[in-house]
Amino acid sequence: GFAVRSRLSSVGGYDTSVGKVRAKIAKLDDPAGTKYLAIVHGARTAHAIVLDRDGSTLIDTSPRKNDRRRVAEIHAVVKSIEIDRFI
């Protein structure tokens, strides 16, 4: 299984840009293999992004070269075997 934990307050809170979130994710002390699911808001849309522990994009439903979209939610996803270190 997997464990999911909000990391919004750890990366600057609601309305922080994707670019700033990337740098802050890289500084977190989450377990190896942690992935981050971010929901971002555009002008009239919302998209999902999956980032790795270094802040690199793994999946983006609407890729951008310079990403200034605002992060509405971000959650760390960890395999349950690593949960003791995560919580």
Mean pLDDT to the nearest integer, 19-44: 90
| Structure confidence at residue 28 (pLDDT) | 92
Mean pLDDT of the chain: 87
Q: Which residues contact 70 (CB under 8 A, 6 or more apart)?
A: 14, 15, 16, 17, 18, 40, 41
Q: Which residue reads 């299984």 in tokens?
A: 1
pTM of the model: 0.85
Would the pLDDT of 83 be above 60? no
Q: Which of 82, 58, 78, 86 is nearest to 22 (CA)?
A: 58
Residue 44: DSSP 8-state: S
